[in-house]
Structure 1
Amino acid sequence: MTTAQDIRGIVLLAHGSRDERWRQPIEAVAQRVRADDPDARVACAYMELATPDLPTAVETLIAGGATAIRVVPLFLGMGKHAREDLPLQVEALRQRWPAVGFSLARIVGEEPELVDLLARIAVKS
């Protein structure tokens, strides 16, 4: 649970790719989050094939003063990473940094706003 005194950290977690161009939309989301909430600390992290990984991104946010961290999985579907790997990783983070409040958001693909946006993009001409 976060309190008014907490310094928010947000990790935008994506799958990852060896292709550097793959990061561009993830980094664009991070820039937008920073613009929308200048007080939040924001980092990108990747499950595989790219760096930083989740623990490294979290460590950076904590070093920057974050006392509460929300992990936002930028996955469209509930695959193995989101269903199995990610909850285990977040629990390991809680064990490693017990003084930090961690929360795990739903995958973005389950958010009604994203479903609506994708549908609008699909039908636009």
Structure 2
Amino acid sequence: MSGKPGIVLFAHGSRDPRWAEPFERLRDKLRAQRPDADVSLAFLELMTPNLGDAIAGLVRQGSETITVVPVFLGQGGHVRRDLPALADACRAAWPGVKIRVSAAIGEDDAVLHALATYCANELDRT
């Protein structure tokens, strides 16, 4: 068992496999920043792994605490309804594992600031 904390970047999913590329880059950047954590991706639909499989993989690697980060800009229906139900099912499947769900990344001021900066910089490219 690694004993490392786990983190799951949870995104919607798409039929187009290229859609996952920025999420894979985010995962890789996070792994580089936090070598002390095991990092995984999970998708709500249309792509694999799903949340249950991603959490099971982290548990098999030895994670006893897992944080799920919704990579969504807002707290829409998937984040408000679907994700809590999925997280509860994972908690039931792994009662000895602490599973915490953070707010959607778009709710964080630092993320919004980075997005606003990007958009402002786009004005200079016209």
Structure 1 and Structure 2 fold alike (TM over 0.5): yes
Within-5 A mapping of 1:44-59: 44-59=41-56
Percent identity over the alignment is 43
1:63 aligns with 2:66: no
Q: Which residue of 2 aligns with 1:39?
A: 36
Q: Which residue of 2 aligns with 1:91?
A: 88
Q: Which residue of 2 aligns with 1:9?
A: 6
Tell me the matched-pair count: 121
Which whole-Å CA distance do the structure 2 matches of 1:62 and 1:43 have between them? 11
Query: Following TM superposition, where does structure 1 have runs of at least 4 consecutive aligned residues deviating by more than 4 angstroms?
Result: none
Q: Which runs of 5+ in 1 are unaligned?
A: 1-5
Q: Which residue of 2 aligns with 1:74?
A: 71
- Report deviation, 1:77: 1.5
RMSD: 1.2
Q: Which runs of 5+ in 2 are unaligned?
A: none
In the superposition, the TM-score normalised over structure 1's length comes to 0.93
In the superposition, the TM-score normalised over structure 2's length comes to 0.92
Q: 1:21 is aligned with what amino acid?
A: R
Deviations 1:33-84, CA, capped at 9 Å, x for gaps: 1101101001000001111100001111111111110000000121111010
